[in-house]
Amino acid sequence: MPTKHIKPSKKPKIPIRITTGIPSFDKLCGKGLMDKSINLLIGGPGAGKTIFSIQFLIEGCKAGETGVYITFEEDKEKFYAHMLSLGWDLQKYEDEGKFIFIRYQPDAVKKMLNEGGGMIDSLITQTSAKRLVIDSVTPFSLLYRDELPKKQAALELFRLVSRWGCTTLLTEQEIVHHSPVNSTLSFEADSVILLYHNKKESKRIREIEILKMRGTDHPHQTYNFEISKYGIRLNKFSGAS
């Protein structure tokens, strides 16, 4: 009988990682977020969701990538002034065509889903945007009273964002007291990152935890972090569970 030649199996490709601009965070998760992944950032007011998101977009701007920031609440002028106080000149990156600020009404996102992307779809295609932030999806979720339509809208949003091919951060406002979380989106997201801003004795402490991250060996620990003029910086393991 002729000898059968068995082709050697191909080695699995090492996934591309997208750095967040927070080196101490990237060290926890294999040098960054998975390329083209959809990541959910959950936390209450003042927890650091927007700072994390902008730091992520600026990291891309510095590398020559275009980032899109979609908000339902922020006034552009005030927002840019606040970010400038942290040393982040968003107007400069906008002038270079690397940072795109879009203020949307929540019902406009609902319309966008019905239209299959609309203006944002065209914008991302034209600019070849690599990074996307929607800050936050909470007002959009509140448009749906019943759980089933809310889940269907969440699935449609994920399908649309996946088609765009960006590495994406979706922020959601929810005060978390050490998981679990109740987010409808958490089951679909490639990763869920929790930001805590809880009071301990007379002081509020900021902490971060990677609740899940697909395809990534990450620590199941909570870390303290600070927000300074350089953005977010992780400190030591906080010992919380």
- Residues near 115 by beta carbon (within 8 Å), at least 6 away in sequence: none
Which range among 3-12, 92-101, 179-188 shows the weakest confidence by mean pLDDT? 3-12
Q: How confident is the model at residue 135 (pLDDT cuts 50, 70, 90)?
A: very high
For the stretch 104-122, pLDDT in tens is: 887 777 777 777 777 888 8
Nearest Cα residue to 50 out of 17, 86, 26: 86
Order the strands of the 67-71 sheet from edge to edge.
99-103, 67-71, 131-135, 167-173, 38-43, 191-200, 203-213, 222-228, 231-237
Average confidence (pLDDT) over 53-77:
95
pLDDT at 100 (0 to 100): 97
Share of the chain above pLDDT 90, in %: 59
In this prediction, residue 99 has a pLDDT band, given cuts at 50, 70 and 90, of: very high
Confidence tier at 14 by pLDDT (50, 70, 90): confident
Domains within the chain, CATH numbers bracketed? 35-202+212-237 (3.40.50.300)
Quickly list H helices, 85-220. 90-95, 106-115, 118-127, 138-141, 147-164
Do the Cβ atoms of 61 and 93 come closer than 8 Å?
A: yes
Q: What is the pLDDT of residues 83-94, one digit of tens each?
A: 999 899 999 999
